[in-house]
Amino acid sequence: MPPEATHDYFMRLALNQAKIAKAHGDVPIGAIIVRNGVVIGRGRNQREEKNDPTAHAEILALRDAAEQIGDRRLIHCSLYCTLEPCIMCAGAIVHARIEHLYYGASDPKAGGVESLYQILEDSRLNHQVLVHAGFFREECERLLKEFFDRLR
């Protein structure tokens, strides 16, 4: 595993993706997928840029990773994202078989992981994901707050 392969390193990469989304006029959310310490997928919110309601950072990172490895099952992979995934993204994370989710800010209005629903840990589904919340929470929250403050 590369020496830089730490949770902090990968969350910083996700934050960089969020900043790129912000620069393109999208809500600043970023996601990174890692397998064996190597980034295999990147995504940033592109809903406005692509006029696509499904162009969430997590979905785009999942697509990128699946394409990179040639398999829709992202076994032994971790997903790092700046905001708690919504229910759509949480469902996709389960279907992709992500092993670990690390996220920054909670989403009390649309969170599908812990805030409103607990999709990733639902024992009725055929796969559960280990959830690690609060990574770089303050920085992730600040980025979102600054973005929405500018819109008002």
Q: Average pLDDT of 7-11?
A: 96
pLDDT surpasses 80 at 4: no
Sheet of strand 100-105, all strands in order from the earlier edge strand to the far edge: 38-44, 30-35, 77-83, 100-105, 130-133
Active-site hit among 58, 67, 84, 139: 58
β-strand partners of 132: 102
pLDDT surpasses 90 at 64: yes
Report yes or no: 44 and 15 within 8 Å, Cβ to Cβ.
no
C-alpha–C-alpha distance, residues 40 and 73, integer Å: 13
Q: Which residue has the tokens 């959830």?
A: 131
3-state secondary structure of 99: coil
pLDDT surpasses 60 at 1: no
Q: Average pLDDT of 43-65?
A: 97
Q: What is the pTM of this model?
A: 0.95
Give 150's pLDDT tier (boundaries 50, 70, 90): confident
Give 66's pLDDT tier (boundaries 50, 70, 90): very high
Mean pLDDT score of the chain, rounded to an integer?
Answer: 96
Phi then psi for residue 27, to 5 deg, are -55, 130
Q: Which amino acid is at 67?
A: E
C-alpha–C-alpha distance, residues 135 and 118, integer Å: 18
> How many angstroms separate the most distant Cα atoms in the chain?
44
* pLDDT (0 to 100) of residue 151: 79
58 is catalytic: yes
